[in-house]
Amino acid sequence: MNIVENHTIYKSASVREALVKLDKLASDAILFVVDGDNKLLGSLTDGDLRRGFIKGLGFDNMLTDFLQPSPKYILEKEYSLDKLAIFKANHFKVVPILNDQHIIVDILNFRTRTTLIPVDAVLMAGGEGKRLRPLTETTPKPLLKVGEKPIIEYNIDRLQRVGIKNVNLSINYLGDQLIEYFGDGSDRNLNIQYVKEDKPLGTVGSVLLVEHFEHDDIIIMNSDLLTNIDYADFFKTYKDSDADMAVAATSYHVDVPYAVLEVNESNTVKSLKEKPRYTYYSNAGIYILKKDLLKMIPKNQFFDITDLMDKIIEMNLKLITYPINGYWLDIGKHEDFKKAQEDIKHIKL
């Protein structure tokens, strides 16, 4: 039973059936009463039933005699992150998501999903992971376990936590193992699709193999990262900047152990810095971009995401960076994999 079925009940159901379902929901105990067309009629909690019994209603009454007729809801594609934050600030725990016909299509449980980011996701999961051999001789790198679960699963779980449901995996090397592990995602309340390259297409070329994107913006990321990046803030920064593309960046510090002289063109010293630290920002392998930018990617050709970034800059479109202030680790070598095993004991992903 999926989350919508867990939280909905037909108006024709009995009061006893409602009590049984509410009991199973425990701390998430709220039901949304629907008619025969699955349209929302109202909400129902233990408290609503208790107040009804106090007023003299009984087990023979209709559920509609107990329900709250004007529950709060979210219209899909007509919400903003700010509106969702207001729901959360007002201590709403479970909110139905309706389509334009007022049929419940999803349930937002703030305990398991912090918000709803309207994007589709593409995870690059086709690499051979040669530098991690022999670990990757029979297991694709994304499925190597860090702690208790595979690297890629941390990323998918965190995307799901911010309400991303459409996840596309670009697979190649030992890709059947990924299909077997995740399936279609329905058991996770996700829609997981797979695309496979017939030949190497670079770090973004395979995105064109995805048949359909539901949303206007796409998150593209490497699947072999461990990070606690704030996806909601990343997306908000991207939208507030009216950017065409945003690149997550991680800081890299270079400490110079000597005094550094800064000179002008005539070799005259203008300043002196004692053992300075220089900070550079490196590509972290996580991107948000407008779906329309996919038109700039040549079909069936090798094309890296840095090639796309170069095109965006050449065309004077807006490309911004987003600094990751939290944890980030690219698992490329054995030393990285070993570090990940230690880090996972102390960080929350």
> Across-strand partners of 89?
none
**Is omega for the bond preceding 276 within 30 degrees of 0, making it cis?**
no
Q: Which residue blocks in the chain are alpha helix, DSSP H? A: 3-7, 15-25, 46-54, 81-89, 151-161, 175-182, 231-240, 305-314, 334-343
Provide the residue type at 92 as one letter: F
Go through the domains of the chain in sequence order and give each one's CATH number: 3-109 (3.10.580.10), 120-343 (3.90.550.10)
The predicted-structure confidence for 111-140, as pLDDT tens digits, reads as follows 888 888 999 999 998 888 888 889 888 889
The CA distances from residue 48 to 43, 98, 268, 300, in Å, are: 9, 22, 81, 59
Angle at which helix 81-89 crosses helix 231-240, to 10 degrees, equals 140
CB atoms within 10 A of CB 253: 8
- At 31 the pLDDT is 93
- Distance CA(21)–CA(29), nearest Å, equals 8
- At 1 the pLDDT is 57
CB atoms within 10 A of CB 36: 8
- At 180 the pLDDT is 93
Digitized pLDDT (tens) for each residue of the chain, 349 residues in all: 578 888 999 999 999 999 999 998 888 889 999 988 889 999 999 999 999 999 999 998 898 899 888 888 988 877 888 888 888 888 888 999 998 889 998 888 888 888 889 999 999 988 888 888 898 888 899 999 999 899 999 999 999 999 999 999 999 888 899 999 999 998 888 999 999 987 888 888 889 999 999 999 999 999 999 999 999 999 999 999 999 999 999 877 777 777 778 888 777 877 788 777 777 778 899 999 999 999 999 988 899 999 999 999 999 999 999 999 889 988 888 988 888 899 898 888 7
- Distance CA(63)–CA(44), nearest Å, equals 8
